[in-house]
Amino acid sequence: MLQNYAGVGVFFLIAAIFPLILLATAWLVRPKRPSPEKLSTYECGLETQGPTWVQFKISYFLYALIFVIFDVETVFLYPWAVKFQALTLFAFVEMIIFIGILVIGLWYAWKEGALEWL
Amino acid sequence: MTNPVIFWLIALVVIVSGLMVVLLKNIVHSALFLVVTFVGVSATYVLLQADFLAAVQILVYAGAVSILLVFGVMLTVRGDIKSSNLFNRHKLSGGVVALALFLIVERIILKTEWVLSKNPAPESTVGPIAEAMLTKFVIPFEVAAILLLVAMVGAILLAKGEGKPQ
């Protein structure tokens, strides 16, 4: 089984090394004539405004919370999906109930306006 | 048996990134290194042939919990973020407590007689979990859904406040 994960390891290595190669090549090839304008922070071509670190709105945090809940739900969904063909109708009904309970939560979040983009 | 070099490499990644979480001064960078720690821990799960647990670790911890942490930090931190994760004046007492905890855990680990299973590792880790979850442990499974629901409703209530603002 572990041999199957060697590919994942190779992926990780390439993902770590490739950006370094890109940055190193760019550093070697590029001309170096800095000026204050060039060294200023890039913000879509406009002049930057205010500090970099700003306080987020609470509504973004609600998105994150709901995301975590449904992320945990996928942990339960995944084994069910893998074994779907071997499981009975009973398991299907169970999962429908499970999802139904969580949809109530989604409905509540919707009703409370937690999904509104401000 | 896997090459111990792989294990030590993963252990190095976990320990170094764990130290970075504590030592970095910007708490958002600490949170990002926490993601590296989580991914390293999931790699050790793979070494233990618990691949479902590894997937869950990446999905929930590296994916969701770290996002929640970063959002929480961004919501609460005021002032200069570059010095948001500093040491306070209790370096010595903190070190003593950490050392004591380490010694206790180390004693327990060395005193425990670890029983190694003779059975080979299961071929599939997901299948037995699915079967147990959906046949034998039905009630805990549905209770988990209710728990998630309660968590979600509670979080929304806390964040939004009860009732409509006047």
* Same domain as B79, residue B127: no
Q: Per the domain annotation, does B97 fall within a domain?
A: no
Interatomic CA distance for residues A70 and B107, integer angstroms:
40
Q: How big is the CA angle at B118 (ends B116 and B123), to the nearest 5 degrees?
A: 110
Q: Per the domain annotation, does B58 fall within a domain?
A: yes
* Same domain as B130, residue B76: no
Q: Per the domain annotation, does B113 fall within a domain?
A: no
Alpha carbon of A31: minimum distance to chain B alpha carbons (Å): 31
Nearest chain B residue to A63 by CA: give it.
B68
pLDDT tens for chain B, 166 residues: list them: 567 888 898 999 999 999 998 888 888 888 889 999 999 999 899 888 888 888 889 888 888 888 888 887 777 766 666 666 777 778 888 889 999 999 999 999 999 988 888 887 777 778 888 888 888 888 988 898 999 899 888 888 887 766 555 4
Position B33 scores a pLDDT of: 92
Q: How far is CA A68 from CA A3, A11, B64, B140, in A?
A: 32, 26, 5, 20
Q: Per the domain annotation, does A116 fall within a domain?
A: no
Q: Per the domain annotation, does A17 fall within a domain?
A: yes
Of B89, B105, B133, the one marking the end of a domain is B89
* Same domain as B140, residue B78: no
Please tell me the total count of domains within chain B.
2
CATH number, domain at A12? 1.20.58.1610
- Asked whether B53 and B125 are in contact (CB, 8 A), the reply is yes
- Subunit contact B131:A98, Cβ cutoff 8 A: no
Helix extents (H) in A1-88:
2-29, 36-39, 58-82
Smallest CA-to-CA distance from B84 within B97, B66, B69 is with B69
* Same domain as B129, residue B84: no
Q: Per the domain annotation, does B104 fall within a domain?
A: no
Interatomic CA distance for residues B14 and B20, integer angstroms:
10
- Residue B149 has its nearest CB partner, among A58, A64, A104, at A104
- CB contact A19 to B (< 8 Å): no
Q: Which residue has the tokens 């999931």?
A: B42
Of B63, B89, B115, the one marking the end of a domain is B89
* Same domain as B60, residue B17: yes
Please report residues of B whose CB lies closer than 8 A to that of A98: 141-142, 144-145
| Domain extent for B163 | 123-166
Interface pTM, i.e. ipTM: 0.72
DSSP lists the bridge partners of residue A46 as A43
Please tell me the total count of domains within chain A.
1
- Subunit contact B72:A61, Cβ cutoff 8 A: yes
Please report residues of A whose CB lies closer than 8 A to that of B81: 53
